[in-house]
Amino acid sequence: MNVIEIKDLSFAYEKEPVLEDINLKVEEKDFLAIIGPNGGGKSTLLKLILGLNEPKKGTIKVLGKAPKASLRQIGYVPQNTNVNTDFPIKVIEVVMMGHVEGKRPLFGYGKHEVLCAMGALEQVGMADFAQTKIGSLSGGQRQRVMIARALCAHPKILILDEPTSSIDITGQRDIYELLKVLNEHITVIVVSHDISVILEYANKAAHVNKTLSFHDISDKHSTFHTHGNDEHFCEIELLQMLGADNCNTCEEEKPQWRLKP
């Protein structure tokens, strides 16, 4: 079943098109990496999927419905979790913001909401920090809290915008390992610059730069030539290869990575 289906989509903020003829199908339990240069339209595509922008042309279906109608089944982790760190708010309160409207008490939070939020914190390994002020956490810990907040609504799809941009290398790995575990039950979509890391975890990749090119990378060894035994991904070349069908950056040097025909 396709959880997200985008057909012939185009979008422009003003006159200049930002996205053109986008087609994308995301299946259940996919781990999709959306990559591409800055200003290439990655964030715009996310906003379209979240229903924050309306497409100029074409259609988007999320879980078979219009994006806005499915919003409650999407868990979203926004970029820049380092803003507003002075804000006096406890971790558990941040997580409880993830609850969707529904039965709620006249004052404060319901018992079931607290339990659910604690469960989500447990899942991301942050239960011990429930009563801590959010500003005193590290970037990686804060990112986990934001993932817990997204999990609070029991989403079918989890969407993350640059989840590791302000986290050190070990912290990044931890986040991706966590996403890998979550991916056993839900679909994960990540917009990221850290392509060398993300391509290890993703099974599908979409390169967005006004147009979109889609790659199934579930079997990495048949998709890419390896450079000896070195498991290193060369970021720039990878980006360009996924963007274009041919690698044309490697004329002087011997190509290290190339998509198999």
Shorter beta-carbon distance to other proteins: residue 48 or 96: 96
For other proteins, give the closer residue by CB, 187 or 203: 187
Within residues 147-176, the interface with other proteins by CB under 8 A covers: 149, 153
49 binds other proteins, rule: CB under 8 A: no
Is there binding between residue 215 and other proteins (CB under 8 A)? no
Q: How many CA atoms lie within 13 A of 84 on its CB side?
A: 9
Is 139 a residue that touches other proteins (CB under 8 A)?
A: no
Q: Does 66 bind other proteins (CB under 8 A)?
A: no
Among 94, 116, 120, 167, indicate the residue that binds other proteins (CB under 8 A): 94
Q: Does residue 71 interact with other proteins by CB under 8 A?
A: yes
72 lies in the binding site for other proteins (CB under 8 A): yes
Residues that bind other proteins (CB under 8 A): 50, 52, 71-72, 76, 78, 84, 86-90, 93-94, 96-101, 104, 106-109, 131, 133, 149, 153
